[in-house]
Structure formats: structure tokens, C-alpha cells
Amino acid sequence: MSRFDWTGFEAVLFDLDGVLTSTAKIHAAAWKQTFDEFLEDREGPEPEPFDIDQDYRVYVDGRPRYEGVVSFLSSRGIQLPFGDPSDAPGHDTVCGVGNLKNQLVQDLLAQGEIEAFPGSLLLLDHLEEMGLRLAVVSASANAATVLSGAGLLDRFEVRVDGEVTTNLGLAGKPAPDTFLEAARRMDVTPEKSVVVEDAVAGVQAGVAGRFGAVIGVDRHGDPTALADAGAHLVVADLGELA
């Protein structure tokens, strides 16, 4: 059982996929299908396919969708025109590839139940009893759908998601902008707020924003990566902190 002193803090800012809900595996599966089909469709030497265990964490986890496309394709020495967010799903532009991935995510979300981690629910109950304020900060444009499906939509007073990021032109994680925007909307200082993340990019964002504490949730069996990114504490499940 890990210990964390919540006294002295006013707000807790949670990432969503992989922290509160098990939907990170849906995103990983959609990324793999998207990138593997993209790579198979290209002429010339066949690059290494997308590896969920390594590539997902390093190149796309926690990042805005189009930035994830650029990051992964660059790792394979591939460049595409950026295109426009209105591009049809496809393989011709960064936006097209990202939109294809989003289409797959929506299809997968529609096929099954969205589950919240029991330990995360325990922590939410504990924090609410303590009177701490709660926010969700996610790169996903489907955050409202996921929260609603998991029965969590009404448990957070602020949500900064992919749509907000796009509308305000915020830089995505590992930049701290989205977490800072959530703190601003709650009228709390970063120093009095805790960031909870499962992605290296998200931990880096919390550290860069000078938040009072950054907690890493190790869903991948690699706590060292989160600690090296600057997490003050790493747990395997948020129930340890309830």
C-alpha cells in the first residue's frame, strides 16, 4: 500500500484513458490497426509494424492525435503532408491517418462496455470525501463519450479534452498547457494541484507545469519510465492511494 498526503492540495487533475478507464487498450488497438494498414499500403521496403508495447507508449500515448501520427511516422522515416482536420479518413495526410484512427476508436467504443478501474473509483470517492476538486485532462476528442459510458461524466467539474485543445490552440502533452488550462478554469494554482497520469508524456507535462505533485499510474509494468519522467510517486493501481 502506497501512502500519499493529500492535505494541502485543493484539486486533482486526472488523465482519462488508462488512468480512470481501461480504454487505453482500445486506443492502442486502433493505433496498431491504423498504422499497420498504412505501412502495408506503402511501396518500397517494409518498415517495422507498430508495436503496442513499445511504440504506443513512446510515440502516441497521451499526445494529441495528429501529433501522435507525426511522431510515429517520423520514427519510421516517413513524412506526410499535414493536411486539414476535415480530411476524410485515409493514408494521404497526417490528418487523414489520425481521422482514420479516430473512426476506429469510435467503432470500438460502440461495440463494448466502457469500464472504470475499481481502484480509480475508490480514489475518486476518497478525494470527494476529503473535499478535493476534480478535473479530467485528456488528449482524446472522445473523452465525453468515455466518461459517460463509464458513468463518470458528472464527477468532474472541469474537462479539458481534445476538442478544447483544438478550439483553444493549446499545445498537447508533454507541454503543460492542457493541465494549466484545467487549473485556470478551476481557479487553483498548479502548486496546490496534483496531476495523475499513466503516460510518460503526461508525467512530463505535469512536471513542466510545476504542479505540486505528479503521480504515475503504471499500467504497463514499467514504473521506471514514469519515475524517470519525473513522477513523484508511481503506483500500480489508484486504489493504493484511497
Q: Which of 15, 55, 87, 177 is catalytic?
A: 15
φ/ψ of 227, rounded to 5, equals -65, -40
Q: Which of 5, 17, 36, 177 is catalytic?
A: 17
Give the separation between CA 25 and CA 18, rounded to whole angstroms.
8
Report the candidate in 38, 223, 20 with the shortest Cα–Cα distance to residue 120. 20
| Under 8 Å between Cβ of 55 and 71 | no
Amino acid at 186: M
- In three-state secondary structure terms, 214 is strand
Matching residue, cell 509494424? 49
Amino acid at 15: D
Distances from the Cα of 1 to the Cαs of 224, 237, 241, in angstroms? Answer: 18, 10, 7
Separation between Cα atoms, residue 205 and residue 27, nearest integer Å? 20
Residue 17 is among the residues annotated as catalytic for this protein: yes
Q: Which residues are catalytic?
A: 15, 17
